[in-house]
């Protein structure tokens, strides 16, 4: 059964979520601050999901999320009383996969957790996508440019995989939001724009050359010998 880390400085919240998870057979590790959450995560490489409060001592949830995203695409759910759009956007931009506001329904929270775990363990067929120096290894979940690995977050990787698997096809922001973030995501299309912008930056010259914005429509990846007026 999956191993889940719950990090929250409120013991009652930790206990409530932990009890529901344990009742369904999950292994649960608890942390009362951000630094402890990171230490537990690094000591448990087989962690399947993290649930992070934002306002924690030592390191807040945003910092923990950003730190983990440097090396891992493990699903992360932010659970916070901060309900402003800014807070949610900052959460997704730091690499979170979902955001639930307090107070929350434990039953609905469990459904969101189950969806993230299912999404994180979907089988991927062994295959490669290669275009002019860039290779996406779907089996290893890695991206290389001229043999050098490019570190991407889970969302950035999924955006790249979606676009590179359908060369020349333009995907609207709404389509990418639905396909990658899911129909139950409550944010707006600016989240897609920020992820694409960071993806293009990480891909460097390759990204500037191939990852195209079709103004007023969305995004696509095209080969360099395709000349289109946009």
Residue 18, both tokens? 């932990």
Burial 66-78 (b: 16+ CB within 10 A, else e): bbbbeebbbbbbb
> Over the range 116-140, which residues count as b (16 or more CB within 10 Å of their CB) and which as e?
beeeeeeeeeeeebeeeebbbeeee
Cα-to-chain-centroid distance, residue 183: 15
- Enumerate domains of the chain plus CATH numbers: 3-120 (3.40.50.2300), 128-221 (1.10.10.10)
State the virtual CA torsion across 108, 114, 115, 117 in degrees, nearest 10: 150
Q: Which two tokens stand for residue 32?
A: 């009362």
Rg, Å, the chain Cα set: 18
Q: From first to last of the 230 residues of the chain, give the pLDDT tens digit.
A: 789 999 999 999 999 999 988 988 899 999 999 999 999 998 888 889 999 999 999 899 889 998 888 878 889 999 888 877 777 888 888 888 888 888 888 888 888 888 888 876 544 344 567 788 888 887 677 899 988 899 999 899 999 988 988 888 999 988 888 888 875 565 667 888 999 999 999 999 999 999 999 998 899 998 875 444 34
Residue with tokens 């946009």: 230
Provide the β-strand partners of residue 128.
137
pTM over 0.85: no
Decide: 220 and 169 in contact? Cβ < 8 Å.
yes
Structure tokens at 63: 């910092």
In angstroms, the CA 121 to CA 198 distance is 25
Q: Could you report how far apart the first and last alpha carbons of the chain are, in Å? A: 49
């Amino acid at each position: 059964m999956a191993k889940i880390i719950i990090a929250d400085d409120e013991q009652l919240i930790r206990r409530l979520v932990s009890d529901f998870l344990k009742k369904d057979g999950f292994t649960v590790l608890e942390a009362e601050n951000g630094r402890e959450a990171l230490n537990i995560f690094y000591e448990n490489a087989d962690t399947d999901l993290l649930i992070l409060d934002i306002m924690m001592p030592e390191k807040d949830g945003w910092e923990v999320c950003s730190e983990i995203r440097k090396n891992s695409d493990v699903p992360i759910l932010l659970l916070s009383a901060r309900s402003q759009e800014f807070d949610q956007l900052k959460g997704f931009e730091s690499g979170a996969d979902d955001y639930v506001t307090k107070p929350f329904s434990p039953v609905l929270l469990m459904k969101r957790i189950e969806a993230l775990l299912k999404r994180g363990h979907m089988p991927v067929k062994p295959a490669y996508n290669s275009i002019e120096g860039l290779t996406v290894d779907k089996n290893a979940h890695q991206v290389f440019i001229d043999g050098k690995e490019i570190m991407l977050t889970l969302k950035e990787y999924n955006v790249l995989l979606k676009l590179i698997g359908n060369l020349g096809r333009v995907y609207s922001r709404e389509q990418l939001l639905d396909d990658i973030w899911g129909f139950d995501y409550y944010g707006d299309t600016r989240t897609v724009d920020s992820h694409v912008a960071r993806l293009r930056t990480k891909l460097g010259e390759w990204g500037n050359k191939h990852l195209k914005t079709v103004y007023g429509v969305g995004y696509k990846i095209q080969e360099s010998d395709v000349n289109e007026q946009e």
